[in-house]
Structure 1
């Protein structure tokens, strides 16, 4: 049986006609721990356009590459080793970057990185959450290992607070810890968004050092870099407190001077949401547990979906629009395509 998918054969600018193409392909069959999910909504993240830019830069692929790593849908079939879900269950997940993505009508996905969809959310609202939530949650609780009691009164600086990851990181830090939450934003609308999500302070990243001093936090215990580690490196190492911790999801195109961390005994961690699925780590199932916990928090109203833009219809035009918005660097919250 065939299904519709949207992919690309070449890494082209989003303005090019063939930057995305619709095509028919075989509907996959679940094996082992896999679920076959009928997709109802997907969201687009910066990783999507970065993969699109680089996956077929100097070649033309024989078959289109399907990307996309945020989805919500309904289980249609299960593999012979599954135990967590059954046919008819509604689920949400971020997926595995080493396999075909969710820009298709159906997808097979390992149940160990899938969560139960929040009952109170629409598929569109749910699809906005997995990748960014897992990234933010792992940054706080798996990398820094924030403890609500022992870290009481400490501070966290979230770089790019209004972005997809920052938007949920603000909520997690405010609702699940006793940290003072400081977010960066430069526009009036993005600053207000951060405040509405619970940030204690919002500072302009163009004047970061002086504005931190103004609010009485010239140094911070923890820094979450969700935008540009290389660009912020010297400033981050200057404003982080001794024995502090920096977590980055962005990496660097050139070597960083780690000596800047030495005298302060500062820790640096990278956070890559795909690590557990890419390497089938022993604790891979933790993402299933995190997503289920987040679903409970969303249903309880403790957290709220970061969905801001919904595009109706699984079409090439809508996928291009979503990528165009992500590439602009000015999106607030999350953009979702509803099938």
Structure 2
């Protein structure tokens, strides 16, 4: 590439820790990616979204004090393609979540393996599309790889964290691709309204002291499935509201959970971690395929973007604001930062 720059603007995580630490997110000029090799694409980043993983990595600190580019959601345009690529051409619009083990999307350019990249929904802007990859992959794998739901599946799914990024797309996928009833757990009026708009059949208040009774009123005999973004202190609830041989899929990072309490009902527990495929180079193209399927559903008008707030441009100030919003734990849908105003 004759016009390939030597440096590029990026926002780097320098010191980590609290978001108010001026070195936690810093505007910088960094070396630009080299020409793509192998299965890599070089992408011009047009928009990114901020997820809890961004907050966790930033807050965990950076003991090495080595600048790191965070960001695990992007929409952009292919600038160049490696010699082993066969899924995309230069100029095509793409969206993806990337890999934890490579520089992230909070930069003007990024190298990413084409096998974990999808074609951007044509009906969406880059800002709207950037809200979908990480949460879409997580929701899809939770429903169809872990719970093994199909178009023929019935029963009831309880969604904890229903108004968050993953819950927002998971509700939609469940309603358009399965016959499963959705009970969404949300407490604030705006969160409840959002879950209803996305298709939840029943919405319950997760702060209700009689939450178990509310769930069982909606699903006599117990729910068949639980999706949990918030598992701390919830094992007794799961044991009470799940039917025998029910299943749970969780995405949070709780380490000390009493799984033995689930044995009496033979309840299964699944972990979902959408970075497993890129981290272990396992069936990578499956991630490309599911992103393309989600794009088709969007373009067919069957599901919608979960974007609720946009900031611009892509710099440390806006990313810091986005981190603050996500860090509250009360975000509805997704926060996206556009490359340009």
Indicate whether the TM-score tops 0.5: yes
| TM-score, normalising length: structure 2 | 0.95
Q: Which sections of structure 1, spanning at least 5 residues, go unmatched?
A: none
Q: CA deviation at 1:60?
A: 4.7
**In 2, Cα distance between equivalents of 1:232 and 1:278:** 29
Deviation at 1:274, TM superposition (A): 0.2
Q: Distance in 2 between matches of 1:45 and 1:128?
A: 9
Moved over 4 A (4+): none
2:140 match: 137
> Aligned equivalents of 1:182 and 1:103: distance in 2?
35
Offset at residue 3 of structure 1 (A) = 0.4
Who is 1:106 aligned against?
A: 109
Offset, 1:17: 2.0
- CA drift of 1:55 comes to 4.3
209-218 or 26-35: which moved more?
A: 209-218
Task: State the distance in 2 between where 1:27 and 1:218 align.
Answer: 57
Q: Deviations over 1:311-335 (max 9, x none)?
A: 0201111000000000011110000
> Structure 1's 48 and 218: CA in aligned 2 closer, same or farther, altered over 3 A?
farther
In structure 2, the gaps of 5 or more residues are: 1-5
**Aligned partners of 1:251 and 1:270 also within 8 Å:** no
| SS across alignment from 1:107 | strand
Measured after TM superposition, the shift of residue 216 of structure 1 is 4.4
For 1:161 and 1:97, locate their aligned partners in 2 and report how far apart those are by CA, in whole Å: 25
Quote the offset at 1:121 in angstroms.
0.2
Deviation at 1:9, TM superposition (A): 1.6
- In structure 2, what is the equivalent of residue 269 of structure 1? 270
Correspondence for 1:47: 53
What are the residue-to-residue correspondences of 1:88-99 with 2, within 5 Å? 88-99=91-102
The 8 Å contact of residues 212 and 218 in structure 1, kept in 2 or not, is answered as no
Partner of 1:318: 318
- TM-score, scaled to structure 1: 0.95
Secondary structure class of the residue paired with 2:233: helix
- Per-residue displacement from partner, 1:269-293 (whole Å, max 9, x unpaired)? 0000000000001x21100000000
Give the paired residue count. 331
Residues of 1 paired with 2:220 and 2:10: CA distance? 49
Shift of 1:246: 0.3
For residues 216 and 133 of structure 1, the distance between their equivalents in structure 2, rounded to whole angstroms, comes to 26
> In 2, distance between residues paired with 1:183 and 1:269?
19
Q: Deviations over 1:220-251 (max 9, x none)?
A: 0000001x223212211221111111000013
**Cα separation, 2, equivalents of 1:251 and 1:116:** 30
